[in-house]
Structure 1
Amino acid sequence: MREDHLKAPPLAGRSLSRRHAAGLAALAVFATAIGLSRRRAAPPPVLEKLSIALPQAPHAGLIHLASAQGLFEAHGLAVTVLPQTHGKAALAALLRGGADLAAVADVPVVIEILNGAPLSIVTTVASASNELAVLARRDRMVTSPADLRERRVGVTLGTSGEYFLWAFMVRHRLAPQSLVLVDLPPHRLVDALRDGSVDAIAAWQPVRHEAQQAMGNAITSFTAPDAYAQNYAVVGRSEFLASRGEALRRLMRALLDAERFVEASPSPAKLLLASCLKLSPEALEPAWQDLDLVVDQQQDQLITLEDVASWAMARGYAPAQRMPNFLSHLSVEALQAVSPERVTVVR
């Protein structure tokens, strides 16, 4: 009797405990159902529309990857991509009013700012310091940088290719006027070198790789590591950027996701980018190795912008003037809001 009396309460306690647990479970299911119902009832975020003039170049790789992976849509953006041959052409499309944003190297941006264009940089998306090269025909007796004197050199004027060529000449103590510059669009550089209408070219990737594959030992390559720290940026009209903060924040999130994809899965990312650019993986490989595909706004880019500005005025691309305050042409707010550690610009 005593044992039965002693055992009964624990049995009753377990029964109550089970009922209590079942009740809590039912409440949890109910609460979850209510929460799901509310979430389903909430209206979807309004898509922010943007158009981007986008070069078919590895330098704009993060934008290509974000588009191919649906990352823009995932962050509430409806992005229209407007393909361009190179960054200078993309910037021209923006300035004509044909696009909201453009991906372009720093040199054309500086030239346009010096000429009064109200442009600002939203973020950089790639950088490189050893990607460009001078490629010269051996049969023209060019075996050293000094042999380039009085030679015809093909280059796309007003671009990072020309600025690199100037930095290359300074590095090798060649007077700028000692070369004959021939203005060619990027897609004509290799043909001009092959048919002999120029003795050498200054080229970025993948044009550089294409020339080396096409001509092999018939050409020699000259580099100037760290002579020019090139930045590739997303730019827009300053007034437009100031009015589209939410769209730009979503853009930053999408590009950061693309960067994480590159870091976590470099091989699939490279294959996907090669497909986007209609290149073989082998043709993309040199650029893939040379470029840092990173989203940031770094303080040291201001030094490069001022160096490029001094060169542009000396070359006559813009009237002589006081050095602009390039800090006012950096639109850091969107990236600062999304990933503040990526912004080292001091205001």
Structure 2
Amino acid sequence: MEKNVVVGDRKSVLLNIYCLAIWLLVLSSGAQADTEIAIAVSKTPLSAPFYVAEQEGFFKAEGLQVNLRECLGGHRCMQDMLAREVDFATCSDMVITQQAALGKPFYVLSTFVTSADDSQFVVRRSSGITSPSDFIKKRIGYVRGSASHYFAEVFLLLGGANPESNTFVELQPEDMPNALYEGQVDAVAIWQPWSYLALQKSKQNAFVMDVIRPYTVTFNLTGSMALVDSNPQATVRLIRALVRAEQFILQNSDDVKRLVQQRTGMGENVLDAIWPGYHFHVSLTQQFLLTLQNEYYWLRQQDTEGKQFTRESLDFMDYIVAEPLRQLDVNRVQLVPALD
């Protein structure tokens, strides 16, 4: 009888040890997989891959617990990351150029969408402007240090107008619809959904000036040096989730447009009109690098006193980290080998 009790107790102890080991293994693997990261995303249709990855569970499938923090403009998203409030940020190429020129510490990890139609010149009809040549002594709203700023000047130059003959009024994107409506400015250079909201606010007294597009804007994933250096695999998993979102967007555009409508408040008709202009593709290309270099040249031209941007050129390869994307698909990285 005693023997049976001892054997029974031994089995019970072994079973408990086995269960404890399994529990600890599961707990340990879960702790390794669930990496918490915060991403500042601009509230725009350009951020569709992040909205999709969140809704479809692509972040979760990669073992990432992601907190998407929406901000009104990539320039603000970048500032949140530089302030260490988030680990990653989405922003346009111009924001990257501006902050790199100022010597700020961050990495560029990938482009995830390009568009020649996202930025627009919305004009107040009562201003008398009917063509770019009419921009003489006009007031133009823009967002400093963003794609809006670069777009505005290049737009005017390509249209035959002299930017210096106009007054540039610095605004935040959310202030532009009302500024145009009240006549504080004659036109605004701004991205979606703010151009749409500006048109909605001013109704018949506003229109989009349709001319040759000045340049193709890129929207990009940037990362804090601390996070990317300390946890490179989290970066790889994040980019893999975005690649899955890219594929989902290509196959389910109607569903994605409805999701973007919910997240941005844009009207269905407007989104249908501009959606074909968005090219969602996770990549790092030589064209992107050239855009950054051209923008730095433009920044130096703006620095008339030569005090802010003193370097003749800027090597953006010091900021670009291509290895995480290259691990996933070498063909998505198309940078000149000599520079990489």
Contact 1:132-1:203 at 8 Å conserved across structures: yes
Contact 1:109-1:119 at 8 Å conserved across structures: no
Percent of paired sites with the same residue: 24
SS of the aligned residue for 1:292 comes to strand
- Answering whether residue 321 of structure 2 is matched by residue 331 of structure 1, we say yes
What amino acid does structure 1 have at the position aligned with 2:335? V
SS of the aligned residue for 2:246 comes to helix
- Residue 71 of structure 1 aligns with which residue? 58
Distance 1:98 1:297 in 2: 26
1:113-161 C-alpha deviation (Å, 9 max, x unpaired): 1111122211111111233221222222111111111101111121101
Contact 2:178-2:201 at 8 Å conserved across structures: no
SS of the aligned residue for 2:121 comes to strand
- Answering whether residue 124 of structure 2 is matched by residue 134 of structure 1, we say no
Distance 2:79 2:120 in 1: 25
Distance 1:206 1:58 in 2: 7
TM-score (norm 1): 0.83
Distance 2:153 2:210 in 1: 12
What amino acid does structure 2 have at the position aligned with 1:141? G
Distance 1:312 1:286 in 2: 32
Matched residues, number:
309
- Residue 203 of structure 1 aligns with which residue? 190
What amino acid does structure 2 have at the position aligned with 1:267? D
- Residue 188 of structure 1 aligns with which residue? 175
SS of the aligned residue for 2:281 comes to coil
2:220 to 233, 243, 247: 233
- Residue 33 of structure 1 aligns with which residue? none
Which 5+ residue runs of structure 2 have no aligned equivalent?
A: 1-21
> Which structure has the bigger radius of gyration?
1
Which 5+ residue runs of structure 1 have no aligned equivalent?
A: 1-37
What amino acid does structure 1 have at the position aligned with 2:310? A
Distance 2:117 2:260 in 1: 21
What amino acid does structure 2 have at the position aligned with 1:252? I
Query: Once the 2 structures are TM-superposed, how far is the Cα of residue 319 of structure 1 from its aligned partner?
Result: 2.0
- Answering whether residue 150 of structure 2 is matched by residue 160 of structure 1, we say no
Distance 1:167 1:244 in 2: 39
1:151 to 115, 118, 138: 138
Deviates further, 128-137 or 275-284: 275-284
Query: Once the 2 structures are TM-superposed, how far is the Cα of residue 169 of structure 1 from its aligned partner?
Result: 1.4
What amino acid does structure 2 have at the position aligned with 1:66? A
Query: Once the 2 structures are TM-superposed, how far is the Cα of residue 226 of structure 1 from its aligned partner?
Result: 4.0
- Residue 321 of structure 1 aligns with which residue? 311
SS of the aligned residue for 2:140 comes to strand
- Answering whether residue 290 of structure 2 is matched by residue 303 of structure 1, we say yes
1:46-103 C-alpha deviation (Å, 9 max, x unpaired): 2122111111111111112111222101111111222211110101111111111100
Distance 1:146 1:226 in 2: 16
- Residues 140 and 273 (structure 1), Cα distance of their counterparts in 2 relative to 1, 3 Å cut: closer
Query: Once the 2 structures are TM-superposed, how far is the Cα of residue 201 of structure 1 from its aligned partner?
Result: 1.0
Contact 2:156-2:163 at 8 Å conserved across structures: yes
- Residue 28 of structure 1 aligns with which residue? none
RMSD over aligned CA atoms reads 2.0
Contact 1:68-1:276 at 8 Å conserved across structures: no
Contact 2:81-2:89 at 8 Å conserved across structures: yes
TM-score (norm 2): 0.85
Contact 1:47-1:76 at 8 Å conserved across structures: yes
- Residue 96 of structure 1 aligns with which residue? 83
SS of the aligned residue for 1:253 comes to helix
SS of the aligned residue for 1:125 comes to strand
1:269-311 C-alpha deviation (Å, 9 max, x unpaired): 1112222334443343344232212211111111100111111
What amino acid does structure 2 have at the position aligned with 1:291? Y
Q: How do residues 1-347 of structure 1 correspond to structure 2 at under 5 angstroms?
A: 43-44=29-30, 46-316=33-303, 318-346=308-336, 347=340
